[in-house]
């Protein structure tokens, strides 16, 4: 069957292009009867936003299928893109997206009858397009990633990518209906898959590597602008704050697990130590010490207390390396929780008020700028959560800068050496014990800092916030995202905090899926969503092809990298 | 502390310690062969208790059996049910989660084990109650009374010893005897010892290492299931998260005795149980869970090879 079709590759291609073109027309037709389904797909000649998303995917598929006919300069550029794979991804992605839309319409409006013929046609035509692309021969590895381009193009691309991310995140978070949320999520996933297939991400990551400062500034600017997209609503900002606290803590754990390869299963204790320190020192009426210190000092003290705990647990246990550490740290996490519960004046000195914890922590106040109040700025109301969001943004920026500077320093190389082969590292003169201890204390410091802000944002701290499961989630964020990477851990933290928040309907099954995900992840993609190249090799050491690929990538990146930015502080 | 109290705490400690020991054997056997801390082993213990409960439920939840019937028919059937379910679960996890990761960096199977642990807990919590006639598995479930054990006690002088305590200690004794026989007197048991000493040579000698590993998981799971039933009788109820703390304590016991060493697991379990019950009696009971972990940390620092000593601790 396939061979017959291959013999008629030209005809198949034409069929695919025609189907894609017809599919584009369907967005001018209504897809649903009811106006309430998704974002009102009931108009003739008035495509809704979600319909336009479908059109984008299909347009990419059409161009990709037609690319074989490009000539001249366009043709030369076209050679760098893996068009056949792009067409497959875009066609099938459009079909999947259309299907998701149809399911959402049926669910929201009650039945398949609520789908207009336009919707069915959209799905069918996308399927034909994708099918046509599927039977055509595949393409070589995309070379787009190695294409040289002027710096301004790269910077522009980074800025555009960041703007798209901001817009998509704001749009996605403002979806009230779960179906809308999922449908747009499908579109985002499809775009990522298409981008990967085309080799666009390879090019973008090279551009990013060339312009690290621009990238980090752009990312920070986007993150800074995020509250302005929320129209004064605190609901999403609260979720964003949880993500940031979680991500900052996970970044600390990332040093320990990702860089040094030590499994810490009681990490939440360090966040807790920071939070309790800040709470006990705060001006709350329930605080037992209540020293009135400036906030930056509190943050530092919290970090120091957490890192002292890290030293306390690390000094005895880091000598017996290996998997004992996992259980000892787990035990330590439990000891921390039990101790916080018992420091209530009955079973021990009263420091934490036992299981009640420290409630009613007052809001922070910087030179008269009260973080608890709504401020009006640039025509937008910015609520309490937005204020704390910016504070947390500063914290996470510090965390990321510390992490990346450490990771690329002599210390960081020592850590990776310990992870890869501790005996060899020691033989090469790496002081393994001191470095491991430093990782423990340093990671704990970052978590403790995050904890101090958490105490103020939550306004209350109690021992039951720091259970084992939270440590497991932190570990999952690091593992899922990609051990040892910054972007991966940010993505992992976002997914793990955002999805449960939005997908309330399967709240009960959350942990079950989480457990299954950890097992599947270890089996099929142990290096995580964003793979650290070296790490990836460790997990697939028998894969010669991958080894060559990674080496090739590293070499080409290095030769293209501007030596000046290479040596500078990278973030 | 008077003499009566002392003996009462000793009995408590021995029964608690027997539970730990039964579970600890599972950690130690598996660790001895593939150097994996089977973090999900606590959940295997929990599954065993639920398996036993299921048998009781399936035979019609009898409550008023005569004691010979309860003791010699119902109880063995329940233990068998628990063992079957535990062993099945353990073999499935070995096959689908651990075996594919053999040879991967050490972090991978450990993380996988955490995943399995959470998965099994949640699976029981969410789905056990969907069985026809099953109780709400989101709460603690009262374990069935076994006439002849539950509620009776033996009076030795001034000390009252609960029969469930006796059952737990006897269960440990019987299981240890069985284990000793299996390891030392049977061919498959010898193969297990050989594999733990040197897997490569064992393979060259014609030993099916995969089968040995599966047997190690099965033996550990079987003992854990017995512990599950004993726990149900001794504590009086079971729940989906009972494996977490018990598993941690049992691991501590295994390390205390010397991980990889089966006798060590038994000794470690008993010592830990006794220390814990005396600590709870003498000190403040709010801190009782802390002691076990403090002991774990102290052992790892000062005598990482454990009381009886076996495998070198820093093999990782």
pLDDT in tens, A199-214: 777 777 777 777 777 7
pLDDT value of position B312: 45
- Cβ of A265 under 8 Å from any chain B Cβ? yes
The residue of A341, A347, A522, A526 whose CB has the most chain B CBs within 10 angstroms, and thus the best one to mutate to test that interface, is A522
Q: Scan residues 524-553 of A and list those with Cβ closer than 8 Å to B.
A: 526, 538-539
- A110, A128, A150 — which closes off a domain? A150
Residue B223 has pLDDT above 90, yes or no: yes
Q: Does A330 touch chain B (CB under 8 A)?
A: yes
Tell me, what's the ipTM?
Answer: 0.87
> Does residue A234 carry a pLDDT above 90?
no
- A514 — contact with chain B (CB < 8 Å)? yes
B123: chain A residues, CB-CB within 8 Å: 512
Give a yes or no: residue A507 inside a domain.
yes
Which residues of chain B are within 8 Å of residue A267 when distances are taken between CB atoms?
Answer: none
C-alpha distance from A529 to closest chain B C-alpha (Å): 15
Does residue A551 fall inside a structural domain? no
**What pLDDT band is residue B134 in, cutting at 50, 70 and 90?**
confident
Q: Which of A43-52, A343-352, B210-219 has the highest mean pLDDT?
A: B210-219
Nearest to A326 by CA among B168, B288, B106, B196: B106
Token look-up 């995140």 returns A169
> Tokens representing B69?
């019937």
The answer to the question of residue A182 being in a domain is: no
Interface touch B313/A324, C-beta < 8 Å: yes
Of A433, A517, A523, the closest CA to residue A480 belongs to A517
Record: contact B248-A334, CB cut-off 8 A: yes
A99 pLDDT above the threshold of 90 = no
Cβ distance B195 to B202 under 8 Å? yes
Domain count, chain B: 1
Residues in A closer than 8 angstroms to B244, CB to CB, are 468
Q: State the residue range of the domain holding B307.
A: 3-315
Considering only the beta carbons, identify the residue of B36, B116, B289 that sits closest to A515: B116
Q: What integer is the mean pLDDT of B23-36?
A: 90
User: Could you tell me the pLDDT band of residue A16, with boundaries at 50, 70 and 90?
Assistant: confident
Task: Examine the pLDDT at A557 and tell me if it is beyond 60.
Answer: no
Confidence band for B111, pLDDT divided at 50, 70 and 90 = confident
Which chain B positions have a beta carbon within 8 Å of A320's beta carbon? 300-301, 304, 313-314
- Max mean pLDDT among A123-132, A328-337, B84-93, B142-151 falls in B84-93
Contacts of A521 in chain B (CB under 8 A): 111, 115
Tell me the shortest Cα–Cα distance from A335 to chain B, in angstroms. 6
What does the block give as tokens for B109?
A: 């199977």
Average pLDDT of span A53-82: 74
B316/A522 CB distance under 8 A: no
Q: Which residue has the higher pLDDT, B215 or A51?
A: B215
d(CA B261, CA B257): 7
Reported as a single tens digit per residue, the pLDDT across B72-93 is 889 999 999 999 999 999 999 9
Which pLDDT score is estimated for A563? Answer: 44
Domain-embedded: residue A27: yes
Q: Which of A331, A469, A515 sits opposite B248 (nearest CB)?
A: A331
Q: pLDDT digits over B246-281, tens only?
A: 998 898 898 888 888 888 899 999 999 998 888 888
CB pair distance less than 8 Å for B108 and A526: yes
pLDDT level of residue B197 (50, 70, 90 thresholds)? confident
Contact status of A321 with chain B (Cβ, < 8 Å): yes
Contact: A508, B289; criterion CB under 8 Å: no
Q: What's residue B88's pLDDT?
A: 96
**End position of a domain, from candidates A130, A150, A170:** A150
Asked whether residue A59 carries a pLDDT value surpassing 90, the answer given is: no
pLDDT of residue A542: 66
Query: Whole-number mean pLDDT of chain A?
Result: 79
Distance of residue B166 Cα from the nearest chain A Cα, in angstroms: 30
Cα–Cα nearest to A278, from A467, A448, A441: A448
Q: In total, how many domains does chain A have? A: 2
Residues forming beta bridges with residue A380, ordered by sequence position: A377
Instruction: Tell me: do A235 and A146 sit in the same domain.
Output: no
CB pairs under 8 A between A and B: 141
Residue A164 counted as domain residue: no
Q: Does A479 touch chain B (CB under 8 A)?
A: yes
CATH number at A435 reads 1.10.3470
- pLDDT category at A322 given cuts 50, 70, 90 is low
| Nearest beta carbon to residue B118 from set A327, A328, A514 | A514
Q: Which of A326, A328, A521 sits opposite B296 (nearest CB)?
A: A328
Q: Do B114 and A322 touch (CB under 8 A)?
A: no
Inform me whether the pLDDT recorded for B123 exceeds 90.
yes
Same domain, A146 and A287: no
Picking from A89, A121, A150, the residue at the C-terminal end of a domain is A150
pLDDT at A435 over 80: yes
Does any CB of chain B come closer than 8 Å to the CB of residue A257? yes
CB atoms A316 and B301 under 8 Å:
yes
Q: What CATH number does the domain containing B48 carry?
A: 1.10.3470
pLDDT (mean) for B86-105: 90
Evaluate whether residue A505 is within a structural domain: yes
**Residue numbers in A near B316 (CB within 8 A):** 321-324
The reply to whether A509 and A418 lie within a common domain is yes
List CB contacts (< 8 A) between A258 and chain B.
Answer: none
Of B37, B97, B115, the CB nearest to A326: B37
- Between A87 and A424, where is the model more confident? A424
Span A60-79, average pLDDT: 72
- Give kind and range of the element (H or E) at residue A546: helix A544-560
Q: Closest to A512 (Cβ–Cβ): which among B104, B122, B296?
A: B122
Is residue A455, in this structure, part of any structural domain at all?
yes
Query: Is the Cα torsion angle A266, A270, A271, A276 positive or negative in sign?
Result: positive
> In terms of residue numbers, what domain contains A465?
231-533
Q: Residue A155: inside a domain, yes or no?
A: no
Mean pLDDT throughout A89-118?
79
Beta bridge partners of B162: B153
Residue A294 has pLDDT above 80, yes or no: yes
Tens-place pLDDT, residues A148-172: 677 777 777 777 887 787 778 777 7
Q: Does the distance separating the beta carbons of A323 and B106 come in below 8 Å? A: yes
């Amino acid at each position: 069957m396939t061979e017959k079709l291959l013999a008629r590759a030209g005809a198949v291609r034409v069929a695919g292009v025609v189907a894609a073109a017809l599919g584009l027309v369907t967005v001018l037709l209504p897809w649903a009867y009811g106006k309430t389904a998704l974002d009102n797909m009931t108009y003739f000649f008035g495509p809704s936003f979600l319909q336009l998303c479908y059109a984008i995917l299909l347009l990419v598929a059409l161009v990709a299928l037609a690319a074989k006919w490009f000539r001249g300069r366009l043709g030369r550029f076209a050679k760098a893109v893996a068009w056949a794979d792009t067409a497959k991804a875009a066609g099938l992605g459009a079909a999947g997206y259309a299907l998701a839309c149809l399911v959402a319409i049926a669910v929201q409006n009650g039945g398949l009858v609520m789908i207009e013929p336009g919707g069915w046609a959209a799905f069918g035509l996308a399927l034909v397009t994708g099918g046509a692309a599927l039977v055509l021969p595949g393409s070589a590895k995309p070379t787009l990633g190695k294409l040289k381009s002027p710096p301004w193009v790269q910077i522009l691309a980074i800025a555009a990518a960041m703007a798209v991310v901001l817009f998509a995140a704001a749009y996605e978070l403002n979806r009230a209906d779960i179906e809308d949320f999922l449908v747009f999520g499908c579109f985002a996933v499809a775009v990522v898959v298409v981008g990967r297939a085309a080799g666009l991400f390879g090019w973008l990551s090279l551009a990013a590597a060339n312009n690290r400062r621009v990238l980090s500034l752009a990312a920070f600017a986007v993150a800074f602008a995020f509250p302005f997209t929320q129209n004064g609503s605190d609901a999403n900002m609260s979720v964003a704050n949880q993500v940031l606290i979680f991500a900052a803590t996970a970044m600390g754990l990332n040093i320990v697990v990702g860089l040094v390869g030590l499994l810490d299963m009681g990490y939440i204790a360090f966040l807790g130590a920071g939070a309790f320190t800040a709470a006990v020192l705060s001006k709350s009426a329930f605080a037992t010490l209540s020293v009135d210190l400036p906030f930056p000092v509190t943050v530092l003290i919290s970090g120091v207390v957490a890192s002292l705990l890290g030293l306390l647990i690390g000094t005895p246990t880091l000598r017996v390396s290996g998997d004992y550490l996992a259980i000892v740290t787990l035990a330590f996490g439990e000891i921390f929780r039990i101790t916080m519960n018992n420091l209530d004046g009955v079973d021990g000195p009263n420091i934490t008020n036992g299981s009640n914890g420290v409630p009613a922590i007052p809001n922070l106040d910087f030179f008269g700028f009260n973080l608890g109040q709504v401020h009006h700025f640039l025509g937008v109301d910015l609520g309490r959560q937005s204020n704390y969001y910016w504070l947390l943004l500063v914290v996470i920026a510090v965390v990321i800068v510390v992490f990346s500077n450490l990771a690329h320093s002599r210390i960081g190389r020592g850590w990776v050496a310990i992870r890869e082969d501790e005996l060899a590292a020691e033989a090469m003169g790496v002081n393994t014990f001191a470095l491991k201890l430093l990782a423990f204390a340093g990671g704990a410091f970052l978590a403790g800092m995050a904890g101090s802000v958490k105490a103020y944002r939550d306004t209350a701290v109690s021992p039951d916030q720091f259970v084992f499961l939270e440590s497991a989630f932190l570990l999952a964020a690091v593992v899922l995202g990609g051990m040892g990477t910054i972007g991966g851990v940010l993505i992992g933290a976002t997914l793990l905090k955002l999805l449960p928040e939005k997908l309330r309907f399967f709240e009960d099954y959350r942990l079950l899926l989480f457990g299954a995900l950890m097992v599947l992840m270890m089996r099929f993609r142990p290096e995580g969503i964003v793979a650290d190249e070296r790490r990836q090799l460790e997990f697939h050491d028998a894969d010669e092809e991958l080894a060559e690929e990674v080496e090739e990538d590293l070499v080409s990146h290095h030769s293209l990298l501007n030596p000046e930015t290479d040596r500078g502080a990278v973030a | 502390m008077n003499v009566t109290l002392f003996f009462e705490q000793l009995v408590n400690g021995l029964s608690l310690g027997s539970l730990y020991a039964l579970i600890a054997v599972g950690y130690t056997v598996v660790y001895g062969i593939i150097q994996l801390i089977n973090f999900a082993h606590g959940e295997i213990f929990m599954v065993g208790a639920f398996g036993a409960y299921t048998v009781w439920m399936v035979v019609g939840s009898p409550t008023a059996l005569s004691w010979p019937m309860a003791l010699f028919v119902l109880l063995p059937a329940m233990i068998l049910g628990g063992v079957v379910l535990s062993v099945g679960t353990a073999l499935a996890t070995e096959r689908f989660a651990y075996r594919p990761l053999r040879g991967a960096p050490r972090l991978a199977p450990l993380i996988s084990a955490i995943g399995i642990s959470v998965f099994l807990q949640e699976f029981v919590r969410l789905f056990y109650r969907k069985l026809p006639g099953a109780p709400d598995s989101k709460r603690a479930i009262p374990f069935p009374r076994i006439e002849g054990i539950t509620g009776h006690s033996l009076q030795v002088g001034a000390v009252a010893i609960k029969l469930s305590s006796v059952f737990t200690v006897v269960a440990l004794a019987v299981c240890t005897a069985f284990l000793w026989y299996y390891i030392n007197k049977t061919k498959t048991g010898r193969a297990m010892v050989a594999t733990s000493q040197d897997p490569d040579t064992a393979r060259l000698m014609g030993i099916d290492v995969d089968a040995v590993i599966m047997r190690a998981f099965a033996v550990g799971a079987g003992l854990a299931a017995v512990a599950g039933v004993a726990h149900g009788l001794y504590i009086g109820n079971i729940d989906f998260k009972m494996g977490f703390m018990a598993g941690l304590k049992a691991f501590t016991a295994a390390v205390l005795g010397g991980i990889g060493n089966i006798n060590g697991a038994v000794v470690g379990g008993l010592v830990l149980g006794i220390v814990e019950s005396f600590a709870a009696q003498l000190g403040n009971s709010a801190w009782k869970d802390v002691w076990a972990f403090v002991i774990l940390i102290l052992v790892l620092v000062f005598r990482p090879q454990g009381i009886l000593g076996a495998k070198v601790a820093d093999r990782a």
